[in-house]
Copies of this chain bind each other. A is one copy, B any other.
Amino acid sequence: MRATLIHGPHDIRLEEVPDPRLLSPTDAIVRVVAACVCGSDLWGYRGVSPTKEPRRIGHEFVGVIEEVGAGVRDLRPGQFVVAPFTVSDGTCVHCRNGVHTSCERSSGWGGIDAEGFFTDAGQGEYVRVPLADGTLVPMPETPSEQLLGSVLTLSDVMGTGHHAAFTAGVRPGSTVAVVGDGAVGLCAVIAARRLGAERVIAMSRHAARQALATEFGATDIVAERGDEGAERVRDLLGGVGPDAVLECVGTKESVAQAVATVRPGGRIGVVGLPTGGGELPLATLFRANIGVVGGVAPVRAYIEELAPDVWSGAIDPGRVFDLVLPLDRVAEGYAAMDERRAIKSMLRP
């Protein structure tokens, strides 16, 4: 089969690799129908995270089950499934606590699973899925081309945006600011509105993303950053910061923006993968009773809750895909996101 490998900075290639096969009775083989490029994939692409040797890449995909191992009980060939961005067994104490990303048998796509076997990454034609019953979530049917993007967001960005809003305690009437206008930030706008937020302020300087944020339910746009941005948000809210800030970037600057913006007693839902090496200023948080919650999103915990709203059309997060490419043009998908010409690239094998 063909799959994507990253060789180094700005060097993404589609190559022939061995076809996956069942290695454990709890495995499934999934034919990928759609995959995508994550903002966090760009850290390797930009060379911020070094690539020591060529490796498979991609952790968001949906597809059709081709084959299941003898130990798989709840899935069958032909089902259309969503794969969350980490493998989890669904049975350990952390999964039962809803923290599937801390599963005792957790592993990542393109990595080594809990049994020591290599696991395919998502940007390819097929994937061997370990712990298939725990990991994969079957959809009611194969989605239409129109629904496909929104279903694909359940593998990461929609669940991640929801995690920010949910952990930060967004509820009916809340005031919310979203730091970051990438796909996760845009999905966080959807999530905040879905949980009942009355005001959702999207912090964005990019016209197309501002427009999409507004269509997703943002009530206000703030283009300013830093102290000026925080001040502008407070102005919009009658002088007081928002109840929740959803931090969807992960840089030192974006975390500082969240701290400067949230009101005393408010909470920051952090879902941007921390790349700033930053630490949180405990004394500042303490004085103002600012809570910092969130983390690497256990999206597996949310798929069943979010999927019905995708299928009913109540939310339409798939609109973050503004570039759809055949898999053999994967390099273009990375370049477009890197240069911020695309919000998010979908790849079709």
The answer on a CB contact under 8 Å between A289 and B280 is: no
The count of identical subunits is 2
Once A280-B280, A281-B279 are accepted as A-B contacts, the answer to whether A289 and B255 lie under 8 Å apart by CB is no
> Which chain B residues border A286 with CB–CB below 8 Å?
270, 273-274, 294-296
The answer on a CB contact under 8 Å between B294 and A94 is: no
Task: Give, as a whole number of angstroms, the nearest-CB distance from A155 to chain B.
Answer: 18
Q: How far is the CA of A189 from the CA of B121 in the complex (A)?
A: 47
Report which of B279, B296, B298 forms a contact with A279, defined as CB distance below 8 A: B279
Q: How far is the CA of A264 from the CA of B100 in the complex (A)?
A: 10
Once A97-B264, A280-B280 are accepted as A-B contacts, the answer to whether A288 and B240 lie under 8 Å apart by CB is no
> Which chain B residues border A288 with CB–CB below 8 Å?
99, 102, 295
> Which chain B residues border A101 with CB–CB below 8 Å?
264, 289
Interface residues of A in 256-309 (CB under 8 A from B): 263-265, 267, 270, 273-274, 276-283, 285-296, 298
Who on chain B is nearest to A264 by CB? Answer: B102
Q: How far is the CA of A293 from the CA of B167 in the complex (A)?
A: 12
> Which chain B residues border A97 with CB–CB below 8 Å?
263-265
Q: How far is the CA of A277 from the CA of B289 in the complex (A)?
A: 17
Once A102-B265, A264-B94, A279-B279 are accepted as A-B contacts, the answer to whether A285 and B289 lie under 8 Å apart by CB is no
| A110 contacts B by Cβ under 8 Å | no
| A98 contacts B by Cβ under 8 Å | yes
| A93 contacts B by Cβ under 8 Å | yes
Task: Give, as a whole number of angstroms, the nearest-CB distance from A76 to chain B.
Answer: 31
Q: How far is the CA of A309 from the CA of B221 in the complex (A)?
A: 47
> Which chain B residues border A265 with CB–CB below 8 Å?
94, 97-99, 102, 295, 298
> Which chain B residues border A281 with CB–CB below 8 Å?
279
Task: Give, as a whole number of angstroms, the nearest-CB distance from A92 to chain B.
Answer: 9
Q: How far is the CA of A267 from the CA of B97 in the complex (A)?
A: 13
For the A-B complex with A101-B264, A267-B293, A291-B294 known, give 19 more contacts whose Cβ atoms are closer than 8 Å.
Answer: A93-B238, A93-B239, A94-B264, A94-B265, A97-B264, A98-B265, A99-B288, A102-B289, A167-B291, A270-B282, A270-B286, A278-B282, A280-B282, A285-B292, A285-B295, A289-B295, A289-B296, A290-B295, A291-B292
Closest 3 CB pairs of A and B: A289-B295, A279-B279, A102-B264
